[in-house]
Copies of this chain bind each other. A is one copy, B any other.
């Protein structure tokens, strides 16, 4: 019988695609990772990876093993959770991946409250460019804009939010206020950098009016907001950003209104851990409050 622990290493490499990366995640040396992978392959008599350029891809055998290895992992994690009583305890670490705007404007202001309710949960708020993938275990949970199609995930709809065009009063005073969507072509637009967009749901301008292109661009919604707020131009912002900034005005609110959904994505293995449920509940409350606030405000 082969060493079951080698499956843990195998999973790491299969997910991160390089030995070095896997080694970091596993807190081992890349050499060790390589050697244990070789050992596993030998004892199974199968070639698990093919090296294409810098990265390793699973072979057919590798894919077959991967599914089973995930099952092993799942069982092992449940084992720890149950035996250590972790599944019942509101303690431990949760890594949550969110979009930058949501993290900055919705979650960050409420973190104090969360920590007071759950002092023993360490909540890491990750706003990497691109959502980290719970199915790759880069994060435990993620709030995403689209429902992921595959993976061992538990997905639930948190709610939706609206977006409008915003501009500062200073900008409108100097450049005038657009009356019709077509007027937008004559204005300075603020938006994302299309090549670096990490979710198709963020491609707002194309939806507002075909062919519309931003000239002031950033990968960061916060940078965009600051530009708009300081009178640089007109841009699409979520209401939970635009409405909070008293210096901003909605532009063409009757013509341009976008809606997006928030999806909460959790790895199946973790979905019934108390601490994960606590975070999920908090997220549902935050999004609920967000929607109530917009309605009444």
> Which chain B residues lie closer than 8 Å to A241 at the CB level?
none
Looking at the complex, which of A63-71, A199-207, A247-255 is the stretch in contact with chain B?
A63-71
* A13 CB → nearest B CB, Å: 15
Chain A 45-89 per-residue mask, 1 if CB under 8 angstroms from chain B, else 0: 110000000000000010011001101101110111011100000
- CB pair B46–A68 under 8 Å, yes or no, is no
Interface size on A, residues (CB 8 A): 27
Question: Which listed residue (B5, B8, B44) contacts A80, Cβ 8 A?
Answer: B44
A7 within 8 A of B: yes
A196 within 8 A of B: no
When C-beta atoms are compared, the residue in chain B nearest to A45 turns out to be B84
Bound-state CA distance A8–B75 (Å) is 13
- CB pair A68–B64 under 8 Å, yes or no, is no
| In the complex with contacts A64-B83, A65-B79, A79-B69, A4-B4 CB distance below 8 A | yes
Q: What 13 new A-B contacts, CB under 8 Å, besides A44-B83, A75-B75?
A: A3-B5, A4-B4, A4-B5, A4-B76, A5-B5, A46-B83, A61-B83, A68-B78, A68-B79, A71-B71, A71-B75, A72-B72, A72-B76
